[in-house]
Amino acid sequence: MVERPRLEFASPFDERLFLEGPPAMFTLDPMGRLRVDPERTREGYLLIGSPAGRDPGHFVLVDRATGLRMYTLVSHTALATCQPRAEVRRHPDYASAIAEAMQQWAMPAPQALDGGDEES
């Protein structure tokens, strides 16, 4: 059985903010844990105001200039869909969003680097 990636918050504060706080965006820290992203959250509020209620979602933001992919969890969808410098892709769950975001870091199989089945 394949183990699916598990959603993990950086701190109890981040988890509580996601579950009970005002709408916010969360991105992965260097340890792969979710942490509130105050800069992107603030930018969303400046662009669209304060979204009402909760509408959580898993997204991959693809930077239009570089093509880099970034996973984000939002407690309101409007904060992801308003991002002006990114192509926004919604996913049904954490595992599928992380799988897309991590594709950019995948390494080709060693045999693909040396030409495959050629004999030495």
Distance CA(101)–CA(87), nearest Å, equals 13
Q: What is the pLDDT of residue 120?
A: 45
Which run of H or of E encompasses 59?
Answer: strand 57-63
Task: Express each pLDDT in 23-74 by its tens digit.
Answer: 999 999 999 999 999 999 999 999 999 999 999 999 999 999 999 999 999 9
Domain boundaries, the chain: 12-104
User: For residue 27, what are the β-bridge partners?
Assistant: 35, 72
The model's confidence at residue 81, banded by pLDDT at 50, 70 and 90, is very high
Q: What is the pLDDT of residue 6?
A: 82
Q: What is the pLDDT of residue 115?
A: 54
Which run of H or of E encompasses 88?
Answer: strand 86-91
Cα-based distances in Å from 51 to 22, 43, 82, 103, 110: 9, 13, 11, 31, 48
